């Protein structure tokens, strides 16, 4: 009989362990499907880089003052001595994807009111005709142009003198304009200026400025990938979660229904020891209760209250069959407060016949 009980107990443990693992895995799977089903658009990125270099020289007219017929960049120049400006536009663009490109160099003249910063007069013309093509990877632009400075300077000086304009800023801008079409709509750009050379007009001396960031740039292009319809995963996840909840409820009922009186006893004992172990002193030998007035308490917490009030230890004694446990507080005035739990009391509370009571040694 005991052998059959041990087999049944072992089978119950295996069943509880196996079902617990299965229910946990099903729960995790349902949560994963639900989260996947409601996940927003994912974003992908492609890296691109570019670097720029703009060099120029100012070529001088024949004169008796300068030994060389040119001046390097970064100087102050006499406007009337400038023959033309030689500019080298070098731009490198690297994108590991296929794209269409076009570029050109445009000369733009602006006459701007210094007080309002508004344009009075402007015109543009192409200094380098448009180049276009398709590339995958590196686009290397290396273009040199000669700008006839006197043509623009004389025209703007005449314009300013003709209308007696005061407090105006005049300049000629050489712009390398680039157009990229590819990757996605957000990245595609047309005719944006990647490099610029600003040359003042209508002044006696000029200082030429380069208008671009000299540092190399590494950037990310954000690509929004179209999200597939994943509501089916959300619905499947919800269905599996509901099934798992129902199965878990049935599993709890199974555990309750198959729990033996010994299991209930051991669970209660384990709960007491886990929560109040530091308050309890376990006694291995029999405790002599002769001479004590015995008072039984209804709950274990009643012992705790007595212990806290009288500052006395709680002793514990379990019979050798491990079917009955006593918790007691012996007092100096020969009163013994005690609380007990046993397998038999769970058998009685479950309505089993008294002849099924387990025989224990008191």
Instruction: Kindly state whether residues 6 and 66 are assigned to the same domain.
Output: no
Residue of 93, 101, 176 whose CA lies nearest to 132: 101
Give yes or no for a contact between 100 and 131, defined as CB atoms under 8 angstroms apart.
no
Identify the domain boundary among 224, 243, 275: 224
Mean pLDDT score, 127-155: 93
Alpha-carbon distance of 261 to 163, in angstroms, equals 111
Per-residue pLDDT band for 353 (boundaries 50, 70, 90) equals very low
Total count of domains within the chain: 3
Which pLDDT score is estimated for 263? 77
Alpha-carbon distance of 142 to 129, in angstroms, equals 14
Identify the domain boundary among 258, 275, 308: 258
Which pLDDT score is estimated for 48? 74
Predicted confidence (pLDDT) at residue 285 exceeds the cutoff of 90: no
Predicted confidence (pLDDT) at residue 357 exceeds the cutoff of 50: no
Instruction: Kindly state whether residues 21 and 148 are assigned to the same domain.
Output: no
Which pLDDT score is estimated for 355? 40
CA dihedral 202, 206, 212, 216 (to 10 degrees): 160
Q: What is the pLDDT of residues 320-329, one digit of tens each?
A: 777 888 888 8
Longest dimension (CA), the chain: 134
Instruction: Kindly state whether residues 199 and 311 are assigned to the same domain.
Output: no
Which has more confidence, 190 or 197?
Answer: 197
Mean pLDDT score, 281-294: 78
86-113 in b/e burial notation, b at 16+ Cβ within 10 A?
ebebbbebebeeebebebbbbbbbbbbe
Which pLDDT score is estimated for 168? 95
Predicted confidence (pLDDT) at residue 211 exceeds the cutoff of 60: yes
Question: In terms of DSSP H, where are the helices of 42-186?
Answer: 149-162
Alpha-carbon distance of 23 to 244, in angstroms, equals 6
Instruction: Kindly state whether residues 167 and 180 are assigned to the same domain.
Output: yes
Q: Find tokens 């299991």 and name the residue.
A: 263
Predicted confidence (pLDDT) at residue 127 exceeds the cutoff of 80: yes
Model pTM?
A: 0.51
Which pLDDT score is estimated for 359? 42
Residue 98 sits in which domain range?
45-224
Instruction: Kindly state whether residues 148 and 195 are assigned to the same domain.
Output: yes
Q: Find tokens 């024949």 and name the residue.
A: 62
Instruction: Kindly state whether residues 301 and 233 are assigned to the same domain.
Output: no
Q: What is the pLDDT of residues 156-174, one digit of tens each?
A: 999 999 999 999 999 999 9
Per-residue pLDDT band for 109 (boundaries 50, 70, 90) equals very high
**Measured CA distances, 14 to 3, 7, 43 (Å):** 17, 11, 46
Q: What is the 3-state secondary structure (H, E, C) of 306-334?
A: HHHHHCCCEEEEECCCCCEEEEEEECCCC
Instruction: Kindly state whether residues 126 and 201 are assigned to the same domain.
Output: yes
Alpha-carbon distance of 29 to 21, in angstroms, equals 12
Identify the domain boundary among 201, 224, 247: 224
Q: How much is the mean pLDDT over the chain?
A: 83
Structure tokens belonging to residue 179: 């157009």
Predicted confidence (pLDDT) at residue 8 exceeds the cutoff of 80: no
- Strand ranges, E, within the chain: 43-60, 70-72, 76-78, 82-113, 119-147, 168-182, 189-201, 205-207, 209-210, 217-224, 280-282, 293-296, 314-318, 324-330, 335-342
Instruction: Kindly state whether residues 167 and 265 are assigned to the same domain.
Output: no
Which pLDDT score is estimated for 360? 39
Instruction: Kindly state whether residues 49 and 35 are assigned to the same domain.
Output: no
Instruction: Kindly state whether residues 303 and 234 are assigned to the same domain.
Output: no
Instruction: Kindly state whether residues 277 and 158 are assigned to the same domain.
Output: no
Instruction: Kindly state whether residues 200 and 217 are assigned to the same domain.
Output: yes
Per-residue pLDDT band for 184 (boundaries 50, 70, 90) equals low
Per-residue pLDDT band for 313 (boundaries 50, 70, 90) equals confident
């Amino acid at each position: 009989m005991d052998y059959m009980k041990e087999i049944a107990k072992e089978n119950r443990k295996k069943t509880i362990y196996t079902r617990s693992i299965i229910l946990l895995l099903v729960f995790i799977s349902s949560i994963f499907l639900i989260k996947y089903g409601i996940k927003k658009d994912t974003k992908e990125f492609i890296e691109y880089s570019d670097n720029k270099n703009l060099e120029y020289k100012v070529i001088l007219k024949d004169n008796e003052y300068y030994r060389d017929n040119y001046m390097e960049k970064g100087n102050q120049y006499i406007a009337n001595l400038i023959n033309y400006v030689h500019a080298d536009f070098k731009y490198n663009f690297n994108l590991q994807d296929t794209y269409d490109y076009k570029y050109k160099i445009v000369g733009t003249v602006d006459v701007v009111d210094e007080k309002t910063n508004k344009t009075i007069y402007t015109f543009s013309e192409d200094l380098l005709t448009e180049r276009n093509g398709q590339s995958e990877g590196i686009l290397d632009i290396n273009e040199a142009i000669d700008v006839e400075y006197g043509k623009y300077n004389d025209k703007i000086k005449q314009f300013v003198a003709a209308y007696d304009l005061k407090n105006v800023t005049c300049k000629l801008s050489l712009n390398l304009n680039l157009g990229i079409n590819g990757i996605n709509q957000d990245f595609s750009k047309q005719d944006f200026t990647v490099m610029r050379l600003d040359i003042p007009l209508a002044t006696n001396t000029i200082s030429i400025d380069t208008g671009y960031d000299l540092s190399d740039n590494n950037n990310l292009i954000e690509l929004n990938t179209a999200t597939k319809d994943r509501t089916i995963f959300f619905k499947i996840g919800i269905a599996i979660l509901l099934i798992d909840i129902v199965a878990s409820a049935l599993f709890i009922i199974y555990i309750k229904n198959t729990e033996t009186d010994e299991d209930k006893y051991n669970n209660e004992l384990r709960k007491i020891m886990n929560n109040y172990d530091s308050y309890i002193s376990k006694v291995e030998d029999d405790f002599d209760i002769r001479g004590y007035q015995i008072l039984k308490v209804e709950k274990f917490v009643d012992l705790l209250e007595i212990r806290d009030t009288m500052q006395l230890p709680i002793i514990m004694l379990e019979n050798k069959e491990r079917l009955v446990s006593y918790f007691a507080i012996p007092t100096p005035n020969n009163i013994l407060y005690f609380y007990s739990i046993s397998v038999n009391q769970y058998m009685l509370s479950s309505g089993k016949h008294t002849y099924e009571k387990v025989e224990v040694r008191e």
